[in-house]
Amino acid sequence: MLQGALLYPATYEEARQNFREAASNVGARLEQHTLPESGPITRDNLSIDVAVLGAAGSDWSVVVSTGLHGIEGFFGSAIQTAYLKNIKANRGVGE
């Protein structure tokens, strides 16, 4: 079972790092789309990270996004990271 404290990020950069690492660990193709704005408080460089799973050119897709309205990004990032880690746990290491 995944522990919430291990998934819930303390900072924007930690959220990005957790998501990108979890996506890489399940073999996802990663994209980064840099935004021209910076974070309002910490002045972080902002970007949209995309993890693509499955065959290229598939007939369907699922898009999940977080952080579009501010602080919910940390919670959403934790959910997405937990989902990616759960995929790996259910597949088994090395598959």
- What is the Cα–Cα distance from 69 to 29, expressed in whole angstroms? 25
The tens digit of pLDDT for each residue in 7-59 reads 678 887 888 888 889 889 988 888 888 888 877 677 777 788 888 888 778 88
Nearest to 21 by CA among 37, 9, 39: 9
Q: Where are the alpha helices (DSSP H) in the chain?
A: 4-7, 12-25, 72-91
Greater confidence, 64 or 57? 57
pLDDT band at 70 (very low <50, low <70, confident <90, very high): low
C-alpha dihedral sign at 28, 51, 7, 45? positive
